[in-house]
Structure 1
Amino acid sequence: MEPVQYSYEDFARLPSFVVGLMGYDMLGVPKTRSRRILMRLYRFLCLASHSVCVGFMIFRMVEANTIDNVSLIMRYATLVTYIINSDTKYATALQRRAIQSLNSKLADLYPKTTLDRLYHQVNDHYWSKSFVYLVTVYIGSSSMVVVGPFITSLISYFTNRGFTYMHCYPYFEFDPQKHSVWIYVGIYGLEWLHSTQMVISNIGADTWLLYFQVQIIIHFRGIIHALEDYQPSVDHDEKDRKFLARIVDKQVVLVKLQNELNEIFGGSLLLSLLTTASVLCTVAVYTLIQGATLEGFTYVFFIGTSVAQVYLVCYYGQQVLDLSAQVAHAVYNHDFHNASIAYKKYLLIIIIRAQQPVELNAMGYLPISLDTFKQLMSVTYRVITMLRQMIQ
């Protein structure tokens, strides 16, 4: 018995859930009035806290006298680049009409029947457990960056040294001798919501990008399988040509959908690659300076998940690049020898179109592929080495 084949809505649950963690409803799913009000209030709190924290960060940087050591400089450099990265991705997520339009077009194209879904092997493209674990670990490790100072303070309290009132970000100054404990609670609440806004914006936008890219990949695989399995013949030439006409039309549609995807996410992809490399460099150097502390370990996890996040985007970019090119190979490999001349001319159209592979790109300048990932990691490693030598 075949397992139940996933629907289009099943694929959308994970990205919708992730962005929902910051109170943002990407697809405008109907909700009860009370739940809608609560989500809007929560989203407002996240955005307001984020704005307050960014304002304080800018104030501290202008003030400058509190940034008095290399460790803090690295910390602020990390925060600035991560905020730019996250806010860019949040701005991308705000293109809700464009995203909903692309989502609707891909939903119409999605295989409707169980047999069709089996043929397209949709279950093989569904979110893997490893991907879900990655998203969970990314959010968890990012949360630990905020929770870590509180845990350290608790450990200090139980080892009879007193509660140290540590918190995550260096924007706020808290003196337990002068300030009320409620101010500490308020600072922690601001930092938590600020972190939530940044982390979910970062991973949420990429999850939606991968969601759409996977859908396009499913259809390219479907085209390849259809061409490889089809047996044309002069005896049913009209049927054969209609089959190829559908393939050509679908190929054109997929190219248009990929272009729409690039228009929505291209800007954030370009800036994301640059800022992610910067974040990795500064976080790595900061971790080396801090040494073997709880904060250091949480940052190590954060670095690992951030690298995996970039790798996945580049991996799926490579997939669509390869599969769109493989369409030409599928045409060549399928049994067209008994087909009519007209059918073979149709094949040439498909081959010519496949000579320009469909690609995920950053604003048309930078194709996103595994080669991009390799270059990014190479540059990042060299910069980390240089910064470490400069500090030493």
Structure 2
Amino acid sequence: MTNVERNYDDFTHVPNLIFKSMGYDFLDTPRRVPSWQRILLRIYWILCLLSHWYMVYYLILRTVEWDTLAGNPTTIMRYAIVYFFVLNSDMKFIIFMHHRRRLRELNNRMRALYPKDDCERRAYRVNDFYWPRIARYGVYYYYFVVFVVVVGPILQATGTYIYQRFTSSSEIKFIYLSTFPMERIKSMTPLTYAFSQAVDFVFTHFVMNINLGTDIWMMCLCGQLCMHFAHLGRQLEAYRPNRHHQLEDCEFLVSIVRKHQLLFTLHMELDNIFGMLMAYNLFSTATTLCCVAFYSILQGLNREGFGFLLFFFSCSAQFYMVCYYGQLLIDLSQSIALAAYIHTWYEGSPTYRKYLLLIMQRAQRPVMLSAKGVIIISLVTFTNLMNMTYRFFAIIRRVLGK
């Protein structure tokens, strides 16, 4: 059986689903959905926003009070991790919503450029660019960590209570453990604990989905550019010029140049939309990884330490996926210059060879995702980030003597 060629909606399904799970349909596609479902999605979206501001309020309030933080480096570091992660998600959310119209327009332009029929899609090899295994497993692991972080306190509290009932003869109390360090309810009861855990879940779902969803949208559109650059390189490599067909050869090069320029225009728009987001993403990822590494050393191998260790690898995997697509875009945009060199250009007319030289010169300057033009997003950037985190980790271990 032949593989079914993916359509454009298959590529955008994952990022759009992440936002729709919060009640926000970025692509505005619920026209066939019953009205009651749209109402429920809108209600949950409002609950996400309310839970976010509710948690941020208590985060700032407990920090200003300082009573629970003073002299406790473990609690201070937990607060710092929450601060950096919330700020990262908020900045992504603000930038994403600010550029949402431009992003929709860019998505529509990518859709119009996508190959229309199965024959053309096979020529483009669209299935080769459909969410690689590294990206799918990264998303699975990300949500597994979310589940551990949110459900872990409930499981530990329940398990401790059951264990005490069978082993302790004294008074047994249920330990009301929470995912986040800031105290919100003074006197906890089963009802208020259920409310607290529901707020924690909605807040975590909102923050984690914003943090991941914006990156997934960037990777989706970047993957489309990679697919078109790869197809352009294969077209040029497979072409066989003939010095007796100068007009046809030059017309072919004109079509290549037009498509090449269009891809550069789309890349500039993508880089402008996500440039500030990538800059802050790089800063927040570095600070979050350092804080999590420090907290894991202080906490040791208990439930929280294990949870934050998983969170460390989750942040690393997420940034690796971003750098992977940035590196892929660099490599495939440079492949056009290689394709121009290795195809039979010597059989073309002098005019053809002159125009081909111009394409090679332009293709040698690869397109790149950048953090506002300061730092190039590539696998080298990921390596440098992990090296910096390891050095920080080694210094902290030496200082603490652990």
Paired positions, count: 390
Q: Cα deviations across residues 239-293 of structure 1 (Å, max 9, x unaligned)?
A: 2211111110111111111111111111111111111111111112212222222
Q: Does the 8 Å CA contact 1:92/1:205 hold for their aligned counterparts?
A: no
Pairing 1:1-392 to 2, within 5 Å after superposition: 1-29=1-29, 30=31, 31-68=33-70, 69-94=72-97, 95-160=99-164, 161-174=172-185, 178-392=187-401
Which letter maps to 1:112? K
Give the deviation of 1:130 after TM superposition: 4.1
State the distance in 1 between where 2:235 and 2:107 align.
24
Give the stretch that moved more between structures: 56-65 or 164-173. Answer: 164-173
1:236 deviation in Å? 2.6
Compute the displacement of 1:150 (Å). 0.9
1:348 alignment partner AA: L
After the TM superposition, which of the residue ranges 52-61 and 123-132 deviates more from structure 2?
Answer: 123-132
Amino acid at match of 2:90: D
Secondary structure of residue in 1 paired with 2:346: coil
Task: Report how far residue 114 of structure 1 moved.
Answer: 1.5
| CA–CA distance in structure 2, aligned partners of residues 66 and 182 of structure 1 | 25
Distance (Å, rounded) in 1 between the aligned partners of 2:94 and 2:183: 26
Question: The residue matched to 1:24 in structure 2 has which SS?
Answer: coil
Matched residue SS, 1:127: coil
Verify the 8 A CA contact 1:172 1:187 in the aligned structure 2: no
Superposed CA RMSD in Å reads: 1.6
- In the TM superposition, residue 391 of structure 1 has moved relative to its aligned partner by 4.2
Which deviates further from its counterpart, 75-84 or 352-361? 352-361
Contact 1:324 1:354 in 2 (8 A): yes
Aligned sequence identity (%): 37
Rate the CA distance shift 1:313–1:179 in 2: closer, same or farther, 3 A: closer
Task: Confirm or deny: 8 A CA contact 1:216 1:254 kept in the other structure.
Answer: yes
Deviation per CA, 1:111-153, whole angstroms, max 9, x where unpaired?
1122221121111111134422321220221232121111110
- Is residue 67–residue 73 contact of structure 1 (8 Å, CA) maintained in 2? yes
Distance in 2, matches of 1:92 and 1:210, equals 16
Deviating 4+ runs (over 6 angstroms)? none
CA contact (8 A) 1:324 1:358 kept: yes
Give the aligned residue type for 1:24.
Y
Q: Distance in 1 between matches of 2:17 and 2:96?
A: 14
> Counterparts of 1:387 and 1:98 in 2: how far apart (Å)?
44
Structure 2 runs not aligned, ≥5 long: 165-171
Q: Aligned equivalents of 1:100 and 1:162: distance in 2?
A: 53
Shift of 1:214: 0.4
The residue type paired with residue 66 of structure 1 is T
Give distance in 1, aligned partners of 2:228 and 2:184. 54
For the residue of structure 1 that corresponds to 2:69, the secondary structure is coil
| Shift, 1:33, TM fit | 2.0
2:7 aligned partner, one-letter code: S
Moved more, 248-257 or 165-174: 165-174
- Quote the offset at 1:171 in angstroms: 1.5
* Cα distance in structure 2, aligned partners of 1:266 and 1:39: 30
Which is further off, 64-73 or 184-193?
Answer: 184-193
SS in 1 for 2:182: coil
Residues 133 and 315 of structure 1, relative CA distance in 2, 3 Å threshold: closer
Distance 1:391 1:164 in 2: 30
Give the Å deviation of 1:179.
Answer: 4.1
Deviation, 1:387, is 3.2
Mean Cα displacement is larger for which, 10-19 or 89-98? 89-98
Question: 1:162 offset after TM fit, Å?
Answer: 3.2
Query: CA separation in 2, counterparts of 1:156 and 1:211?
Result: 44
- The answer as to whether partners of 2:326 and 2:368 remain within 8 angstroms in 1 is yes
Query: CA deviation digits over 1:306-338, x for unaligned, max 9?
Result: 111111111111111122122111111110122
- Secondary structure of the 2:142 match is helix
Q: TM-score, normalised by structure 2?
A: 0.93
2:230–2:335 contact (8 Å) kept in structure 1: no
2:169 corresponds to: none
Give secondary structure in 1 for the equivalent of 2:41: helix
**1:326-367 CA distances to partner (integer Å, 9 max, x unpaired)?**
211111111012211221122022112113211111112211
